[in-house]
Amino acid sequence: MRILITGAAGFLGSHLCDRFLGEGHQVVGMDNFITGSPDNVAHLMGRDGFEFVQHDVTNYIYVAGPVDGVLHFASPASPIDYLEQPIPTLKVGSLGTHKALGLAKAKGARFLLASTSEVYGDPLEHPQTESYWGNVNPVGPRGVYDEAKRFAEAMTMAYHRYHGMQTRIVRIFNTYGPRMRPQDGRVVSNFIVQALRGEPLSIYGDGSQTRSFCYVDDLVDGIFRLFFSDRAEPVNVGNPGEFTVRQLAERVLALTGSASALQAHPLPEDDPKVRKPDITVARTVLGWEPKVPLDEGLGRTIPYFRALVEQNSPGARTL
């Protein structure tokens, strides 16, 4: 198949490029580098079966030749990014999704939307099932991302129902691994970089809020299976192993050997208190469940950040 992946230079998009190419498919990667990095796809440039197009998907998307699948992953995805770029975040969720769906319709291609556990907001149901409608503050600072993804889901289902398109929706829970940006504001990358630099680890609130952390290879496998499945309704893909933020900090300190302290900060507005996927649908429909435990995934991720820290801070303390 020939696959278009928007957001291809992002953390998840670049790993998806690797997976589809590794399975023998052709990939057209598309990104405007607002939050993606050329470094994430540098190893693919010149490779047979890979093309790259620098383009903003909120504008009309043109791809010459056949396209069999469109995976729409273009969007700022970390709190720092979508709080700094609220309007581009809303535009890529609305206009970008519309343009990506339009291309898929014109090409007769299968479409997969990267949605998020953020559609559940600060959930009142725990763990979260796909049937839960969520508890989102539409006018809060996080609403620009949450509502962009909720709108994108609604548009995807409208194209499925009205145009009869083959569409898929993945609701992604907290994911981590190599190629995350060191300063993207996500808790795993924050903790690892702070620990490696010997800086205090930033704990927001009392650290009792929970998250469920899925290693990137597991997530990509779930997305790959969903793309080739017959499931049109949303599917949670994430690791149901639930940890408090404080527990994560303690694991990072132990695995890096850092003596960094924990430093408390005020809890951001609308920050979810709990987050855990119910993956019954993924298990039964996709035959998928995560395989990489937290310590193993962190052990694969820390060397990536260690190399970045040593490269960018020659005089910094190395651990």
pLDDT recorded at residue 258: 95
Average pLDDT over residues 29-46: 96
pLDDT recorded at residue 316: 42
For helices 294-312 and 187-197, angle between their N-to-C axes, nearest 10 degrees: 50
DSSP state of 174: -
Position 288, amino acid: W
> Residue 79's pLDDT band (boundaries 50, 70, 90)?
confident
Instruction: Tell me the three state secondary structure of residue 146.
Output: helix
CA atoms within 13 A on the CB side of 60: 2
10 Å Cβ neighbour count for 83?
Answer: 16
pLDDT recorded at residue 312: 78
Average pLDDT over residues 125-129: 96
From the list 286, 233, 276, 283, the residue with the least C-alpha distance to 120 is: 276
CB 167 within 8 A of CB 156: yes
Instruction: Tell me the three state secondary structure of residue 169.
Output: strand
Residue 313 has pLDDT above 70, yes or no: no
Residue 51 has pLDDT above 80, yes or no: yes
Handedness of CA 85, 115, 217, 196 (dihedral sign): positive
This prediction has a pTM of 0.95
Beta-carbon contacts of residue 210 (< 8 Å; ≥ 6 apart)? 242, 243, 244, 245, 273, 274, 275, 276
Write out the two tokens for 166: 């083959």
Annotated catalytic sites, by residue?
145
10 Å Cβ neighbour count for 124?
Answer: 12
Residue 306, class by beta-carbon neighbours within 10 Å (0-12 exposed, 13-18 middle, 19+ buried)?
Answer: middle
Average pLDDT over residues 245-263: 95
Residue-wise pLDDT for 223-249, tens only, equals: 999 999 999 999 999 999 999 999 999
Beta bridge partners of 212: 242
Q: Residue for token digits 């548009």? A: 155
DSSP state of 61: P
pLDDT recorded at residue 267: 82
From the list 117, 114, 152, 115, the residue with the least C-alpha distance to 135 is: 117
Residue 13 has pLDDT above 70, yes or no: yes
Characterize 58-78 residue by residue with b for buried, 16 or more Cβ atoms within 10 angstroms of its Cβ, and e for exposed.
Answer: beebebeeebebbbbbbbbbb
pLDDT recorded at residue 311: 86
Mean pLDDT of the chain: 95
Q: Residue for token digits 């995350």? A: 180
The fraction of the chain above a pLDDT of 90, given in percent, is 89
Residue 262, class by beta-carbon neighbours within 10 Å (0-12 exposed, 13-18 middle, 19+ buried)?
Answer: middle
Average pLDDT over residues 127-139: 96
Structural domains of the chain in order of their starting residue, each with its CATH number: 2-176+214-237 (3.40.50.720), 187-211+241-275+292-312 (3.90.25.10)
> Residue 71's pLDDT band (boundaries 50, 70, 90)?
very high
Residue-wise pLDDT for 168-181, tens only, equals: 999 999 999 999 99
Average pLDDT over residues 24-52: 97
> Residue 295's pLDDT band (boundaries 50, 70, 90)?
very high
